[in-house]
Structure 1
Amino acid sequence: MSSSGEGMELPSVVEAAGEEARQKFLEFFLAQISSENTRKAYARATRQFFQWCEGRGLQLGDVGPNVAALYVRSHGGADATIKQHLAALRKLYDWLCVEQVVEENPFTSVRGPKLVRKEGKTPALSSEEVQDLFSAVDEEDTVVALRDGALIGAMLYTFGRVGAVVNMNVEDYAPASAGKKVLRLREKGGKRHRVPAHHKLRERMDRYLEMAGIGDEEEAPLFQSANRKKELTGRRLNRRRAWDMVKRRARQAGIEKAISPHSMRATGITSFLENGGELEAAQRIAAHSDSRTTKLYDRRDQRIEQGEIERVRFD
């Protein structure tokens, strides 16, 4: 494969289809998809499909509904992965049809596996584990530790994705009425919404900004990377390093769960619902378009108390 267009890799099948196909393929990824995470996921899906086509000597125009159906049936991935790849290929071919690169979308009539999921698999932390996590962070009196506590708190108290949290600037932690504060998040799909800052989150954010000395730098990244001397660099902390930090802090706290980037989101939503919050309100805070998505983060049914299991007796 050759490279073009800001690092985007062009599959050889697309390369062979001519300059128009190459340009429209790049436009789909670089201009039509705003989310970096979605772009990466769709790139993986299309790369895998076109490698499959290449292995069978198929050109871009050779792909019809029968070929598309055969690919989906022979995919071999998990049901959720197949559905994601199918969605990516449908959207790509929709774009290529509109731009008259191909005559039809071969994936329109292809049906993926039926995926029924009432709750997600992402591990959530208990209240005790959250306290242990904050305690591990608070043992250090450094600007990096204050940054880490504020970042973890922002994910827990706003249900924000790690990518949305690290993309905030200082101005996105803004004053509201009656001395309160709000956080302005840019979530998946470019959604922008405001979440009132929990009083415990305000305490962490204010301490962090005071020690960091960046409270007046409105356009500066809110959560910044640090050098070896544990000094802030002024550069934005990226998503991967932020999540590495959370996992490291969890290990420090003795938390053995295999947490994922969505664990903070699941933890916050579960706590909210356990303490009487309504699902619809959790949906608004999380900026979900469908309450069924919010429900996937609800772990209340997974928590079985030791006293309950001790009711199983054979003596």
Structure 2
Amino acid sequence: MQKTTLIGVPKTRITTTAELAAAGYLARYRGSTRETYKVSLKLLFNWCAGIGADPLEGMRRPVLELFARHLEEERHNSPATVAHHLSIVRGYYSFAEIDGYIERSPAAHIRMPRVFIDESRAMGLDRMELGAVIQCARASSPSDNALIALMGMLGLRVSEACAVRIEDYQDIERGHRVLRLVGKGGKPATIPLPVPVLRALDAAAGERASGPLLLRNKGGGPVNRKSAALTVQRLCRKAGIKKNVTPHGLRHSFVTAALDAGVPLRDVQIAARHSDPRITARYDRARHNHDRHASHVVAAFLAGAA
């Protein structure tokens, strides 16, 4: 029998109820989301094996609280990472309850860590920094240029940019060349291509008429998430940017640049494909957090007395 993989462990067949419940839960998702969920369930299953507990049958909330402490104190995961893993674990048990494997989810009342978001960190690069990265990408290679254009000028997620094929941007709609893609959650999107972006994509395609658009500079294989992240880091260093910038930071930069350029909030939400307008609004607030900060007013108020 051909081997399959369940929560990251090679198996010839599903042997336990917990594995069957996990397989059904993961089957709801696809692509990178499924792989991400596998990682969290693998952490849970491996930890349960280490303490001799079944991940499903007989599981109780106190045991899951110990798993959460394991993530915090032994793995030294950040509150955001712990919350991420626990939310996936909660989903697993919720669907195990829905599917009739257990009577009640033991994770329903598990304590979730408090996660605080510094909105000012959501802005990414400013206009001059993003412009410098784009210049370095143009001087580097056509593939690097297209990668930065897709993320920094269209706001694509890194997985979306890596998945772009040459055939995906050949259509014309209402007088615009458009890029068609399937985004987060399997949602299709059609994005008009500005001239600078179209030129970057055409240069990356070269004489090719089909296949992956982005190819690695060394080896010629398709660009993946890891190689894209290394490219972004390299180009940022070359541009003299010292802060840590991830591929998703370029998407943040796109949203902030759109707001700074005067694009209405609703149009930015559509362009970024944010399902919740509150996500886009967070960027809008972050742009002015430093300008509007009360410290400026207090300093001016006290200037005459100090």
TM-score of Structure 1 vs Structure 2, range by shorter chain: 0.7 to 0.9
1:247-299 deviation digits (Å, cap 9, x = unpaired): 11111222212111211111111010011112222111111111222344455
Cα distance between partner residues in 1 of 2:278 and 2:218: 42
Match of 1:195, SS state, is strand
Q: Which residue of 1 aligns with 2:244?
A: 258
Q: Which residue of 2 aligns with 1:9?
A: 8
Task: Please tell me whether residue 288 in structure 1 is matched to residue 284 in structure 2.
Answer: no
* Range with bigger deviation, 154-163 or 101-110: 101-110
TM-superposed CA distance for 1:193, in Å, is 0.8
The runs of 4+ residues in structure 1 deviating greater than 6 Å are: 311-315
Q: Closer, same or farther in 2 for the Cα pair 1:186/1:303, shift >3 Å? A: farther
Equivalent pairs, count: 290
Q: Which residue of 2 aligns with 1:153?
A: 149
Q: 1:170 aligns with which of 162, 166, 183?
A: 166
Taking only the aligned residue pairs, the percentage that are identical comes to: 27
Determine if contact 2:120/2:289 at 8 Å carries over to the other structure. no
Determine if contact 2:134/2:145 at 8 Å carries over to the other structure. yes
Cα distance between partner residues in 2 of 1:168 and 1:33: 20
Q: Closer, same or farther in 2 for the Cα pair 1:297/1:265, shift >3 Å? A: farther
Cα distance between partner residues in 2 of 1:213 and 1:7: 41
Q: Which residue of 2 aligns with 1:50?
A: 45
Cα distance between partner residues in 2 of 1:52 and 1:24: 17
Letter in 2 for 1:46: L
Task: Please tell me whether residue 213 in structure 1 is matched to residue 200 in structure 2.
Answer: no
Q: Closer, same or farther in 2 for the Cα pair 1:158/1:249, shift >3 Å? A: same
Task: Please tell me whether residue 190 in structure 1 is matched to residue 190 in structure 2.
Answer: no
Q: Closer, same or farther in 2 for the Cα pair 1:290/1:26, shift >3 Å? A: same
Determine if contact 2:7/2:39 at 8 Å carries over to the other structure. no
TM-superposed CA distance for 1:200, in Å, is 2.1
Match of 1:107, SS state, is coil
Aligned-pair RMSD on alpha carbons?
A: 3.3
Determine if contact 1:79/1:113 at 8 Å carries over to the other structure. yes
Determine if contact 1:120/1:296 at 8 Å carries over to the other structure. no
Cα distance between partner residues in 1 of 2:138 and 2:154: 20
Task: Please tell me whether residue 21 in structure 1 is matched to residue 12 in structure 2.
Answer: no
Q: Which residue of 1 aligns with 2:230?
A: 244
Letter in 2 for 1:39: R
Task: Please tell me whether residue 62 in structure 1 is matched to residue 88 in structure 2.
Answer: no
Determine if contact 1:45/1:89 at 8 Å carries over to the other structure. yes
Cα distance between partner residues in 1 of 2:99 and 2:174: 52
5+ long unaligned stretches in structure 2 = none
Determine if contact 1:28/1:95 at 8 Å carries over to the other structure. yes
TM-superposed CA distance for 1:123, in Å, is 5.9
Q: Closer, same or farther in 2 for the Cα pair 1:275/1:81, shift >3 Å? A: same
Q: Which residue of 1 aligns with 2:214?
A: 223
TM-score by length of 1: 0.78
Task: Please tell me whether residue 95 in structure 1 is matched to residue 95 in structure 2.
Answer: yes
Q: Which residue of 2 aligns with 1:117?
A: 117
Cα distance between partner residues in 1 of 2:116 and 2:232: 30
1:165-200 deviation digits (Å, cap 9, x = unpaired): 111111211332464211223222112111211232
Letter in 2 for 1:110: I
Q: Closer, same or farther in 2 for the Cα pair 1:208/1:54, shift >3 Å? A: closer
TM-superposed CA distance for 1:18, in Å, is 4.2
Determine if contact 2:138/2:144 at 8 Å carries over to the other structure. no
Cα distance between partner residues in 1 of 2:145 and 2:22: 42
Determine if contact 1:33/1:39 at 8 Å carries over to the other structure. yes
